[in-house]
Chains A and B, each alone.
Chain A
Amino acid sequence: MSRSLILVGLAVVGVPGVASAAEAAGGGGGWIGPFAVIAAGLGMALAAGLCGLGQGRAVASAVDAMARQPGAAARIQTAMIIGLALIESLAIYVLVVAMILLFVQPIK
Chain B
Amino acid sequence: MEAIEHPPIFSLPGIPDHVTYTWLVMIVLTVVAFLASRNLALVPRGLQNFVEVVLEQFLALIDDVMGPEGRRYLPLIATLGLFILIGNLLGIVPGLAGPTTNLNTTAACALTVFISYHAIGIRKQGALTYLKHFMGPVPALAPLMIPIELISHLARPLSLSLRLFGNMTGGHILLAIIFFLMGLDGLIGWALSGSVAGALVGGLGGVIMIVFTVGFLYPLKILVSFLQAFIFVMLTMLYISGAIEEAEHHADHHEQKKTR
Contact = CB atoms under 8 A, between A and B. Distances in A.
Contacts of A89: 159, 162-163, 166
Main SS of the interface on chain B? Answer: helix
A82 B231 contact: yes
Contacts of A95: 166, 169-170
Contacts of B163: 85, 88-89, 92
Contact of A92 (B1, B3, B167, B227): B167
B162 A99 contact: no
Contact of B170 (A75, A81, A92): A92
B169 A93 contact: no
A11 interface: no
Contacts of A96: 162, 165-166
Interface of B: 1, 3, 64, 159, 162-163, 165-167, 169-170, 173, 227-228, 230-231, 234-235, 238
Contact of A99 (B159, B173, B238): B173
10 contacts: A78-B64, A78-B234, A81-B227, A81-B230, A81-B231, A82-B234, A85-B228, A92-B167, A95-B170, A103-B3
Contacts of B64: 75, 78
Contacts of A85: 163, 227-228, 231, 234-235
